[in-house]
Amino acid sequence: MNFKTEQEKFWAGDFGDEYIGRNKSEEYLASNLNFFSKAFNQLGQPKSLIEFGANIGMNLRAIKLLFPKIDLFGIEINKNAADELAKFLGQENVFNGSIFEFEATHKCDVSLIKGVLIHINPEMLSLVYEKLYTASNKYILICEYYNPSPVNVSYRGHSDRLFKRDFAGEMLEKYADLKLVDYGFCYKRDNAFPQDDITWFLLEKE
């Protein structure tokens, strides 16, 4: 692959491989079930969903349990993660490559991104927002670390690999036909279903 940013190389390589092993527990799946049951509470029964940065599909596995008939699609830059994701979704439903290179061939009811925008080079965010917007015919679910103003945070000893900001707010400003439907927060110290301080925002196209 030809990458435009250092962040892409980071996740496509060894660090991305190591991430796979840290995020495949039954406890994480249970937390995701709780998380998405709340985040999807306002949108009924979606028929299709695409996840940007799906890794091995831990989010998608939870969503499939909540909505057994939903059609799922995933975008994943790391080859090993994409191969494992394809075992779950089918090869035809997985795009192994950079989000920047993805071109939607059809729209899904929901575009999902969770813990990925924080790792995108800030100069490329506008393009990712466009990809999320274009791939959705109704809803966009953004689940990320939140900060009212942009900040750069050290990530596992690496610089320029984690960025916090108001991603949902920027999308609401960028697209006049988007409205905020719901939002929430999951605390890393939650006694039953911790989620690493994720703030989620459900946006709808009017």
pLDDT above 90 covers a percentage of the chain that reads 79
Q: In this structure, is residue 72 part of a structural domain?
A: yes
Q: In this structure, is residue 133 part of a structural domain?
A: yes
Give exposure, 39-60, as e/b (b: 16+ Cβ within 10 Å): bbeebeebebbbbbbbbbbbbb
Beta strand 151-152 pairing with 108-114: unpaired
Q: In this structure, is residue 26 part of a structural domain?
A: yes
Domain tally, the chain = 1
Q: In this structure, is residue 148 part of a structural domain?
A: yes
Under DSSP, is residue 181 helix (H, G, I), strand (E, B) or coil?
strand
pLDDT above 70 covers a percentage of the chain that reads 88
- What pLDDT, on a 0 to 100 scale, did the predictor assign at position 15? 56
| Residue range 9-50, pLDDT digits in tens | 666 665 555 655 556 678 889 999 999 999 999 989 999 999
Q: In this structure, is residue 195 part of a structural domain?
A: yes
Q: In this structure, is residue 116 part of a structural domain?
A: yes
Distance CA 86, CA 58 (A): 12
Domain range spanning residue 141? 6-205
CATH value at residue 77: 3.40.50.150
Q: Is the pLDDT of residue 156 over 90?
A: no
Q: In this structure, is residue 1 part of a structural domain?
A: no
Q: What integer best gives the mean pLDDT of the chain?
A: 91
Residue among 127, 88, 125, 98 at smallest CA distance from 13 = 98
Distance CA 20, CA 29 (A): 14
| Residue range 117-149, pLDDT digits in tens | 999 999 999 999 999 999 999 999 999 999 999
- What pLDDT, on a 0 to 100 scale, did the predictor assign at position 157? 63
Q: In this structure, is residue 162 part of a structural domain?
A: yes
